[in-house]
Amino acid sequence: MNQYNTEKETIQVEKQLGSIVFISQDQSLSLESVQEYAGQPTSKVKLDELALKARIDQNRQYLDNKLTNQEDIYGVTTGFGNSASNRISTSLSEELQQNLIAYHGCGVGDYLSESDCAATLLIRMNCNAKGFSGVSWALLSQMETFLNNRIIPAIPAMGSVGASGDLTPLSYIGAALGGKRKVYYQGQIRDTAEVLEELNITPYKLKPKEGLAIMNGTSVMSAIATNALKDIQRAIDLSCKLIALYVELIEGRASPFHKRVHELKPHRGQQICAAKILERLTNVDQRLGRRNRTDDNIEFGKQETFRLQDSYSIRCSPQVLGPLIDAQMWASQILTTEINSVNDNPLFDDENDLILNAGHFYGGHVAAVCDTLKPLVANMGALLERELGILVDDRLNGGISNNLVARDDLGDKAWVHHGFKAMQITSSSLVAEALKNAGPMSVFSRTTEALNQDIVSMGTIAARDLRRITDLIKPVIAIQAMAIRQAFYVDGKDAKAEKLNQLSREFFDEISSNFQPVIEDRPMDAEINNMVNALFNEQ
């Protein structure tokens, strides 16, 4: 019997000691830890040998004993997938693992980003460190060595249907651990064998089952989604701050964000959004709407400039962003469970003498998360793009110069300058492309691998779509930030900025420090990129 109580003790991972991801038993791997390691080249990983090694060794010994007894074990003494009916001699088990890695070396397209590949390796090590995958301590140690030397297997983006795990993408981890294919190292993509030779690291030779333990899993899709979620959460925060500045700029109503409004329809995400906007507005009580009676004698009707209520892109912004906030909180829970799970096949429960063939490699939950977030993130971009449409139109923006042209600075030359005319077009293009990619991927299951994989999740493509949509919306946010800063300038030379409350003023100053108002027409492509980098803390 296994000396460990698996119901009470799970092998999990958590960030500890600053930038060290400490692998132990009593805490879960947080999404923040994965994101920090992926984005911070100086982060380190530490296996808790005292807590983990005995369990890993015991689970591996259980598998070795089964091999000695010549028992049939899927993927160890049998073929893979549709070839599972082929029985394999135990003398060929190691060669079988090498061939598994080799024939899955058919990934296509550009490599995933280094941060996504780094997150994948960390998550895969965590999943294999649970003590139910039959791996050896030596394999985990090789993964630790790669992570701590920032030797990151380079994984092609395309080639996974997200069902029998990310088979083809994860084969690039198995190959790299053995000194093959390519890795990210010190800012370059290099041959793995050369890097290992430079660092005097011995290529790892896979033991029976270890190739399958690496490849049968959801770690690639989980890594992409986890990193995308960080940017999504940042994008939500920025959008709320920009909406507040926009409302202040056009002197919009405060009532859509009032606490009482959202007590009457108490979706949590909606309440969070409204509260974040409301705390950034000034004179809230005086801006709820018309409160005093009028003494005007109106016989039939009268046109006024006063707006009793604003357009939907302002008034309904908590209802647009609220579902995204709720969805990302749900997504965080799902992804945290996924990256802390045992998701390969078969599973070895040595305590109960069970070898269990199952389908934990199926990425259905990750696909559901990504397919849910995709249209919501795209709609966030659409909301800001609609607000930009109002901001650049002097028929709608309350008298701010058309296209945000700096008329007061330009004088007669204002007629030959164009302000943010093309910036709006770029924003519209980005949003359209994001919306085009927002449809669900999980409904496109394809029967493959000789009918063995007859239903698949498409979770990895869904995750890549989510990343693509997020990357499209980031410059939309940057353009909106630049436009708002421009509008404050052309509408009274920042006089309205002097009336902002402290929270809004701090954000306005942050934007202003990264973008100077446009006077004469100039290219702004580099400035968009700079603003994205500044807002999303990218290097």
* CA dihedral of 337, 339, 345, 347, whole degrees rounded to 10: -60
- Is residue 227 a contact partner of residue 35, using CB atoms and an 8 Å limit? yes
Candidates 352, 538, 343, 376; CA nearest to 457 is 343
Handedness of CA 176, 180, 182, 183 (dihedral sign): positive
Structural element, H or E, at residue 355? strand 354-356
DSSP per position, 94-121:
HHHHHHHHHHT---EEEEPPHHHHHHHH
Q: How far is CA 197 from CA 13, 176, 179, 187, 191, in A?
A: 30, 13, 9, 18, 10
pLDDT for the residue numbered 539 = 59
Residue of 220, 215, 226 lying closest to 157 (CA atoms): 220
User: String of b and e for 33-71 (b: at least 16 CB within 10 Å)?
Assistant: bbbbbbbeeebbbbbeeeebeebbeebbebbeebbeeee
Beta bridge partners of 20: 16, 44
| Cα(57)–Cα(51) distance, integer angstroms | 12
- Among 37, 62, 74, 111, the active-site one is 74
Measured CA to CA, the distance from residue 466 to residue 430 in angstroms comes to 14
Contact 216, 76 (CB under 8 A): no
Task: Give the pLDDT confidence score for residue 380 in this predicted structure.
Answer: 98
> Quick check: is 74 catalytic?
yes
Helix, strand or coil, per DSSP, at residue 289: coil
Per-residue pLDDT, 287? 82
**In terms of Cα–Cα distance, which of 198, 199, 109, 197 is closest to 154?**
109
Distance CA 189, CA 177 (A): 15
What pLDDT sits at residue 4? 35
Q: pLDDT at position 292, please?
A: 56
Q: What is this structure's pTM?
A: 0.93
> What's the longest Cα–Cα distance across the chain?
99
- What pLDDT does residue 48 have? 86
pLDDT tens string 237-247: 999 999 999 99
Question: Which residues does the chain have with pLDDT short of 50?
Answer: 1-18
- Distance from C-alpha of 126 to C-alpha of 289, rounded to nearest angstrom: 55
In terms of Cα–Cα distance, which of 337, 342, 374, 366 is closest to 460?
Answer: 366
**Residue 52 and residue 129 in contact, taking contact as beta carbons nearer than 8 Å:** yes
**Strand 108-111, strand 156-158: pairing:** antiparallel
Helix or strand or coil: residue 359?
coil
Strand 44-47 with 20-24, pairing: parallel
pLDDT at residue 424, as a whole number: 97
The tens digit of pLDDT for each residue in 171-224 reads 999 999 999 999 999 999 999 999 999 999 999 999 999 999 999 999 999 999
333, 339, 340, 344 alpha-carbon torsion, rounded to 10°: 130
What distance lies between CA 346 and its chain's CA centroid?
29
| pLDDT of 13 | 44
Q: SS3 of 521, please?
A: coil
CA gyration radius, the chain = 28
